[in-house]
């Protein structure tokens, strides 16, 4: 019996930052998929992972990420990479989230970055988008605030504790298979988001209702 619906944010509630990565790679004449390759190398200890757990400062990240790119033989503007995190809300997904929040416990589970620094008091589009849906959900679990990131099993356990549900009561949507596997291992029903329409169709099948209209 599903009683809670858990949503990843970037790539699920909003468009994927991977689109921004791809655009920058074309713009800078970098190999296709380079940024994702950097992020998947030593995925638990690299610059991106440390930044998402708030273990390093923004300045540290810029230096470390550039160094990781240099090891692969490329010059990458790490500040420009961060700009790729600006995404667009998917209105139909937000409407579905609001609709489901009336019947189910709901939460956002996101690996994200602390975007505000002393030099930059603007929260940026991504955090603005997160704020726009905060009133619709029962909990928002952010890697940058709890110091743990997906796919660490503890991340999902914290979400369940926040909602007071068991993993078997949850369905979780994410656009990355690596984040879904541990959730599935502890008992969650999982949906890999390839497109908005596919995700809503698959979620509707799990919840036994039509979410495509």
pLDDT digits (tens, 9 = 90+) for 182-210: 999 999 999 999 999 999 999 999 999 99
159-178 burial by CB neighbour count: b if 16+ within 10 A, else e? bbebbebebebbbbbbbbee
Sorted by where each starts, the structural domains of the chain and their CATH numbers stand as 4-16+87-207 (3.40.50.1000), 17-83 (1.10.150)
pLDDT digits (tens, 9 = 90+) for 120-149: 433 344 666 888 899 999 999 999 999 999
Q: What beta strand segments (E) does 53-138 contain?
A: 105-110
Structure tokens at 22: 């791809």
Alpha-carbon gap, residue 86 to 77, rounded angstroms: 16
Alpha-carbon gap, residue 25 to 21, rounded angstroms: 6
CB 35 within 8 A of CB 19: no
pLDDT digits (tens, 9 = 90+) for 62-96: 999 999 999 999 999 999 999 998 888 999 999 99
Task: Find the angle CA(170)-CA(173)-CA(177) to the nearest 5 degrees.
Answer: 115
What is the CA 60 to chain-centroid distance, rounded? 22
Residue range 12-18: mean pLDDT, rounded: 93
pLDDT digits (tens, 9 = 90+) for 97-109: 999 999 999 999 9
Distances (CA, A) of 89 to 48, 93, 145, 194: 23, 8, 22, 16
pTM: 0.88
């Amino acid at each position: 019996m599903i009683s809670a619906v858990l949503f990843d944010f970037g790539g699920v509630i909003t468009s994927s930052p991977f689109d921004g990565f791809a655009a920058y790679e074309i713009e800078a004449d970098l190999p296709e998929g380079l940024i994702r390759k950097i992020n998947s190398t030593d995925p638990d200890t690299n610059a991106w992972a440390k930044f998402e757990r708030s273990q390093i400062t923004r300045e540290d990240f810029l230096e470390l990420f550039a160094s990781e790119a240099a090891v692969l033989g490329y010059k990458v503007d790490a500040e420009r990479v961060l700009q790729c995190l600006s995404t667009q809300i998917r209105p139909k997904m937000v409407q579905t989230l609001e609709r489901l929040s009336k019947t189910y416990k709901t939460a956002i589970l996101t690996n994200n970055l602390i975007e505000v620094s002393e030099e930059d008091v603007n929260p940026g589009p991504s955090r603005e988008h997160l704020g726009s849906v905060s009133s619709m959900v029962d909990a928002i679990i952010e890697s940058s605030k709890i110091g743990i990131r997906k796919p660490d099993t503890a991340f999902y356990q914290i979400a369940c504790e926040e909602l007071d549900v068991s993993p078997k009561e949850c369905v979780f949507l994410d656009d990355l298979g690596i984040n879904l596997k541990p959730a599935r291992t502890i008992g969650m029903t999982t949906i890999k988001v390839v497109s908005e329409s596919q995700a809503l169709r698959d979620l509707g099948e799990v919840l036994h209702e039509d979410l495509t209209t």
